[in-house]
Amino acid sequence: MHITPQEPSTTSHRLQLPLPHYSFILAWAEGALVFDKLSDHGLNNQVPGCGPSSCAASSNPRGPGRLRVSEPRREAHLNTLLTLISAFSIVLIPGIGTTSPENWPFASRTWLATLPDAGDGARILAYEYPSPFTIHNPSCESLLMLGYDLLQHLNDVRSQADQSLASVITPEFFLKRFICRHTC
């Protein structure tokens, strides 16, 4: 399990660790708006930046779609981590040929900040999938198969997040948190 940053292309600050969250935590610290892909077992070998209509189904042993994690610019590493662990998830599932989830207001931190209970702390996941109606024998069945795919990716992302957090939340983490509270 690993993660391949989609953008920006500079990866010198990223660690090749089996901890997907490290990647975008560091990306946050860089102050970049990053859409990182949480996936499993080489799913991230797809063409970077491929959209809903262009993701290659054959290169993905898990399924044709994928879940991308949209995370915002953050000021500090620890704030980011604290936000991560307190977040709930909003999963955006677009239609076929419709507006990309990246442009939905639900993915906007400004909009999310207007929600009660710290809505801006939500983790935004966008499901991307190739249109099932571009293949030779289109049917609703191929659309329904994406339901399995979405479910599996959702399950994977949550499992991976738990594994990451189990590693991230160490005594060192609490020490950093303590220091941050008293110095930041």
Partner 1 sequence: MLYQTTNKPILLVCHSLGGIIAKQALCVANKQFPRYGSIVNSIAGVIFLSTPHRYGDKTTNFNRFRGLLEGTIGKVPKIPNASVEQDGAMLLDLADRFEGLSLRTPVLSVYELKESKTSSTPLRLKYQHVGSESPFRAGN
Residue with tokens 């190739």: 130
Q: CB under 8 A: which stretch of 4-12, 24-32, 68-76, 90-98 binds partner 1?
A: 90-98
The C-alpha atoms of residue 2 and residue 133 are separated, in whole angstroms, by 31
CB contact at 8 A, 19 and 168? yes
* Choice from 1, 33, 154, 180 touching partner 1 (CB under 8 A): 154
Rule CB under 8 A: is residue 129 a binding residue for partner 1?
Answer: yes
Q: CB under 8 A: which stretch of 24-32, 42-50, 56-64, 134-142 binds partner 1?
A: 134-142
Nearer to partner 1, 27 or 90 (CB): 90
Element spanning 166, H or E:
helix 140-168
CB atoms within 10 A of CB 118: 13
Q: Residue 84 Cβ, how far from partner 1 at the closest point, in Å?
A: 9
The C-alpha atoms of residue 46 and residue 85 are separated, in whole angstroms, by 28
Rule CB under 8 A: is residue 54 a binding residue for partner 1?
Answer: no
The C-alpha atoms of residue 32 and residue 11 are separated, in whole angstroms, by 12
Nearer to partner 1, 9 or 98 (CB): 98
Rule CB under 8 A: is residue 106 a binding residue for partner 1?
Answer: yes
- Torsions phi, psi of 37, nearest 5? -105, 125
Residue with tokens 């289109």: 138
Q: Residue 157 Cβ, how far from partner 1 at the closest point, in Å?
A: 8
Rule CB under 8 A: is residue 113 a binding residue for partner 1?
Answer: no
Angle at 46 between CA 83 and CA 87, to 5 degrees: 10
* Contacts with partner 1, residue ranges (CB under 8 A): 85, 87-99, 104, 106, 122, 127, 129, 131, 133-134, 138-141, 143-144, 146-148, 150-151, 154-155, 158-159, 161-162, 165-166, 169
